[in-house]
Amino acid sequence: MHEPDRIIRLKTVLSRTGLSRSTIYRKIGECTFPRQIRISVHGAGWHESDINRWIADPVSWRPKDEGGESA
């Protein structure tokens, strides 16, 4: 049975990835880490599947919805 894609918060992402908060946001800016999604006015989270995909292959991870070829 396929489970729904959960939204996980920063604390969970920090513990799952072992990265610091500043490193996560720097990597988001470099497009080498999944972007968070807005879940409320003051809240954001990540799709768990995106974080799992990054953990599985952090070096070659790229956003999956980006069009075109990687240079």
For the chain, 71 residues long, give each residue's pLDDT as a single digit of tens.
566 789 999 999 999 999 999 999 999 999 999 999 999 999 999 999 999 999 999 999 988 765 544 43
Q: Is residue 62 part of a domain?
A: no
Which tokens in the block code for residue 54? 């990054």
CA distances (Å), origin 13, targets 31, 51, 56, 65, 68: 16, 7, 14, 21, 28
Q: Within a domain: residue 49?
A: yes
Query: pTM above the 0.95 mark?
Result: no
**Amino acid 71: pLDDT:** 39
What pLDDT is attached to residue 4? 74
How far apart CA 47 and CA 68 sit, in angstroms, is 23
Token digits of residue 49 = 């599947």
The answer to whether residue 66 sits within a structural domain is no
Strands 44-47 and 7-8, bridge-based pairing: antiparallel
Structurally, how many domains does the chain consist of? 1
Task: Report yes or no on 28 lying in a domain.
Answer: yes
Residue 51 lies in a domain: yes
